Amino acid sequence: MARMKFLCDAERCIECNGCVTACKNEHEVPWGIQRRRVVTLGDGLPGEKSVSVACMHCSDAPCMAVCPTDCFYRTDEGVVLHDKDQCIGCGYCFYACPFGAPQFPQAGNFGIRGKMDKCTFCAGGPEQDGSAEENQKYGRNRLAEGKLPLCAEMCSTKALLAGDADVISEIFRERALHRGKGGELWGWQQAYGKDGAPAPAKQEAKK
């Protein structure tokens, strides 16, 4: 079966935060929890880019590796989920995650962390699919309904793609061929450089 992934086309993202709103509303995510957010780099500068970030459902998930209670699991579709009943809210996963995906609700008046919450790829959690308990703990299980994550389905410019990695990368490839640019995934060169070249220098704002 598929390996479920997100892919954000930075050439298209207009920083409307529609994905964030869709996620918040669909799962009734409480205040202070950001399962998804839009990050803008070079904000206000010519050529600024925005990218929508959430849990990337890593194939070798570092959160999974560091969890002391082993509350993470990966589904057959490659979605990384966790059991909130097993979570102790230690925060190790937050430190391990390179995307800042794990979120912790404030559970008390003294800054005590609650159980971790993160993007579920709209796949719920280890409760009965579609049950009220699953909805309350993890949000709606759209995948079990044969639907894709709402953030991607709501995306106005279709910058955010979600689904089988092979299918969405093919959609992205076709798109890049049509527009004739932006075929490279934004972020890769900045992160790793091209042919060993250093990442481009930061542009200074004109005063």
| Exposed / middle / buried, residue 75 (Cβ in 10 Å: 0-12, 13-18, 19+) | middle
Q: In 3-state terms, what secondary structure has residue 145? A: helix
Least Cα distance to 167 among 57, 11, 7 occurs for: 7
One-letter amino acid for residue 32 of the chain: G
Total residues at the site for other proteins (CB under 8 A)?
50
Which residues within the stretch 17-56 sit at the binding site for other proteins (CB under 8 A)? none
Q: Which stretch binds other proteins (CB under 8 A): 47-55, 171-179, 183-191, 199-207?
A: 171-179
Residue 141 binding other proteins, by CB under 8 A: yes
Q: Which stretch binds other proteins (CB under 8 A): 30-38, 48-56, 151-159, 185-193?
A: 151-159
Q: Where are the alpha helices (DSSP H) in the chain?
A: 18-27, 62-66, 92-96, 132-138, 150-154, 165-179, 188-192
What residues contact 83, with CB distance under 8 A and at least 6 apart?
71, 73, 125, 126
Q: Which of 128, 136, 156, 203 binds other proteins (CB under 8 A)?
A: 128
Closer CB to other proteins, residue 145 or residue 184?
Answer: 145
Which residues sit at the interface with other proteins, rule CB under 8 A? Answer: 1-2, 60-62, 64-73, 75-77, 81-83, 85-86, 123, 125-130, 141, 143-148, 152-153, 158, 161-164, 167-168, 171, 174-175, 178
